[in-house]
Amino acid sequence: MTETARMSGPAGTSGSGRLGALLRRPEAGALLGTVGMLVFFTIFGGLGFLTVASTASWMNVAAGLGIIAIPIGLLMIAGELDISVGSMVPAGSMTVAIISGHYGLPIWLGIPAALLLGVVVGLVNGILVVRTAVPSFIVTLGTLFSVAGLVLGFSVLITGTTSVAITAPDLAKAIFGSFYIQGQFQVLILWWLLATCAYIYFLHYSRYGNWVFAMGGDKVSARNAGIPTERLTIVLFVLSATSAAFVGMCQAILFNSAQVSGGQSYIFNSIIAVVVGGVLLTGGFGSVIGIFLGTVTFAVVNQGIYYTSFDRNWSSLIIGVMLLLAVLMNNTFRKMALNYTPRKGNR
Amino acid sequence: MSAPILALRGVSKSFGPIDVLHDITLEVRAGEVLCLLGDNGAGKSTLIKILSGVHQPTSGTIEMDGRTVTFDTPRAAADRGIATVHQFGGTFPLMSIGRSFFVGAEPTKRWGPLRIYDRRTANEIAVKAVRDFGITRIDDGDRLVGGLSGGERQALAIARALHFGARVLILDEPTAALGVKQATHVLRIVNEAKRRGLAVIFITHQVMHAMSVGDHFTVLIRGAVAADFRKGEKTREEITDLMAGGASMASLEAEIEGYMASHEGHPPPPHA
């Protein structure tokens, strides 16, 4: 009797404790947002929203966005920003399309070239941010336009058009750009899930994740504690630019063509996904699973609207309101986390 | 008397044409608290930055254990056991106690093929280190640093410095932003650090706080050492006069503090 009483006591209290602990986590707001949006569109979209086609449509949107949003989120946690991804997506597409489509060279040359371009632009971003005192918003605004100009200039110079066709061999298509499961789900979804797992390990379980948080909390103290802040900043910029180039490259292979424009929406969409996901814009707070849920929430709103009777034009309104709500909610949850004190006599 | 752990010999510092420090000589021994007193702009901050490796002296030398050393970076000073704790202590408010305690030196354990951050060990060590300083309210290493009081944050930062082998502790105005009770807490922690054999350099402009823990006092005025004396050699009023450079200041302050002491901490009403 006493044994069961003793057992059930702490278990009973830890039930509410677990809810409290969940609300204090960075992803609390994003989780509520995701669930809320799924319920909202199930109610207003009816059964149409729960079909395979609908699930595939928002997951396809989420995959491309998520692969870019997580490294953007890491940069934001570290106190930086990268908006150059907006032109890195078309840059990745065009690079692989010009090399392997226009010139007809092997795809296994075009793919590394596209990724290498991401590495180079990331290095430029990172080194400029570290070496100059210019805020990363301005630096990456500069590279956003520079890369967009380079891509447009070279495309017209080399191919004479702004759209290049590419036919990738079967193996490359199977790995980077094809549909699976009733021909609806892009293979990019798998890349997104794998990347999410890798980033969860990196940010929350490896020691380097601690460095990212420390950098966002206070860069000078982090450096004094022996963290190679400059190298880590450069690595994060390389990660985000390369991820964007990767998504662009996959899209070119999937759709058999590449265009010089069309990546700009990734700038704001990734920031929305990250902020809805509970990352603090000024750095030092956030989680990968939060960004993941923020991405899902964004994609559900973005695609779910098609399954409702609402006009498509309202989706931006929903996203805007959702962003504001998410930020307010995240502020509240963060305050809860800060003020949390375990009750006296708990142990 | 034991040999000083850390000493400055005739250190001067100029930034371009502006001389900030002139010919500073001071030393600090193990188990001793050196109070560095001075009004705003007296050169205290620059002196700390030289001691912690942020700036290098224009002339003069730094000695550790009797040997001349140079600190090219803050890291170099930290590696020799010089730890600086700033006014707000924990500087990563949104990190957990365990994580911020081990920033840059995270304990890891094997997890399959990967090495992962050992949260449990980090939390246990951090919480124990802080509790050893008498801060028993902290018992959960997952709490965020930003949720701690100012005194608790100072304790955490000092405990962290000690855990990572600090021999010289530089406390930059640790009590400036704190209430009376919290300040007392911090002063008790300073005494505990001293008892454990650390050399403490305590920077403050609050004479009362300095007198309650200090063994040795150095007063800086406009970048030069204006006075250097040991505990009991000067009264509170004399020290305040030295710092402010006028007797009227001391009497005014004494009057106000006397009033506050007898009126439960309320300042006197403004004269009509």
Q: Is B249's pLDDT higher than 70?
A: no
Q: What is the β-pairing status of strands B114-117 and B108-111?
A: antiparallel
Q: What is the β-pairing status of strands A257-259 and A163-165?
A: antiparallel
Say how far apart CA A5 and CA B93 lie, in whole Å.
39
Q: Count of CB atoms within 10 A of residue A190's CB?
A: 13
Q: For the sheet with B59-64, list strands across it.
A: B18-28, B6-15, B59-64, B67-69
* A211 shares contact with chain B (CB less than 8 Å): yes
What band does B135 get if pLDDT is binned at 50, 70 and 90? confident
A207–B93 CB contact, under 8 Å: no
* B74 shares contact with chain A (CB less than 8 Å): yes
The per-residue pLDDT for B89 is: 61
Distance from CA of B91 to the nearest CA of A (A): 6
In a domain, B123, yes or no: yes
- Tokens representing B42 are 């007296």
Pick from B94, B104, B116: CB nearest A285? B94
Asked if B42 and A193 count as a contact pair (C-beta separation under 8 A), the reply is no
Average pLDDT of span B236-241:
76
> Which amino acid, residue A158?
I
Say how far apart CA B168 and CA B162 lie, in whole Å.
9
Residue found under tokens 């100059």: A132
> Which amino acid, residue A32?
L
Say how far apart CA B70 and CA A5 lie, in whole Å.
64
- Judged by DSSP in three states, B220 sits in strand
Angle at A315 between CA A311 and CA A318, to 5 degrees: 125
- Angle between helix B236-244 and helix B247-262 axes, rounded to 10 deg: 130
**DSSP H/E element including B12:** strand B6-15
Q: What is the β-pairing status of strands B199-204 and B168-172?
A: parallel
- Tokens representing A143 are 């590279």
Residue found under tokens 């009973």: A12
The per-residue pLDDT for B32 is: 92
Pick from B92, B103, B115: CB nearest A206? B115
| Mean pLDDT, all residues of chain B | 83
Domain with residue B182: its CATH number is 3.40.50.300
In a domain, B97, yes or no: yes
* A300 shares contact with chain B (CB less than 8 Å): no
The per-residue pLDDT for B257 is: 66
* A222 shares contact with chain B (CB less than 8 Å): yes
Distance from CA of A114 to the nearest CA of B (A): 30
- Burial (0-12, 13-18, 19+ Cβ within 10 Å), B87: middle
* B75 shares contact with chain A (CB less than 8 Å): yes
* A225 shares contact with chain B (CB less than 8 Å): yes
In a domain, B1, yes or no: no
Looking at the predicted complex, does its ipTM rise above 0.90? Answer: no
Contact list in B for residue A340 (CB cut-off 8 A) is: 143-144, 147
The per-residue pLDDT for B254 is: 63
**DSSP H/E element including A89:** helix A85-97
Per residue in B75-114, pLDDT tens?
A: 888 888 898 887 766 568 889 999 999 988 889 998 888 8
The per-residue pLDDT for B233 is: 81
Q: Count of CB atoms within 10 A of residue A235's CB?
A: 18
In a domain, B243, yes or no: no
In a domain, B229, yes or no: yes
| Chain A residue closest in CA terms to B93 | A217
Asked if A277 and A293 count as a contact pair (C-beta separation under 8 A), the reply is yes
Look up the domain containing B191 and give its range: 6-234
Say how far apart CA A253 and CA A177 lie, in whole Å.
5
Per residue in A61-74, pLDDT tens?
A: 999 999 999 999 99
Angle at B45 between CA B61 and CA B84, to 5 degrees: 80
The widest CA-to-CA distance across chain B, in whole angstroms, is: 76
The count of domains in chain B is 1
- Tokens representing A153 are 């200039």
The per-residue pLDDT for A127 is: 97
Contact list in A for residue B95 (CB cut-off 8 A) is: 210, 213-214, 217, 284
Residue found under tokens 């963060």: A334
Say how far apart CA A185 and CA A304 lie, in whole Å.
16
Tens place of pLDDT per residue across chain A (347 aa): 333 333 333 333 344 567 777 777 888 888 888 888 888 888 888 777 888 888 999 999 999 999 999 999 999 999 999 999 999 999 999 999 999 999 999 999 999 999 999 999 999 999 999 999 899 999 999 999 999 999 999 999 999 998 999 998 999 999 998 999 888 999 999 999 999 999 999 999 999 999 999 999 888 888 878 889 999 999 999 999 999 999 999 999 999 999 998 888 999 999 999 999 999 888 889 999 999 999 999 999 888 888 888 888 888 888 888 889 888 888 888 888 887 766 544 43
What sign results for the dihedral spanned by CA atoms B82, B88, B89, B93? negative
From the list A87, A73, A138, A112, the residue with the least C-alpha distance to A263 is A87
Asked if A213 and B91 count as a contact pair (C-beta separation under 8 A), the reply is no
Say how far apart CA A335 and CA B89 lie, in whole Å.
20
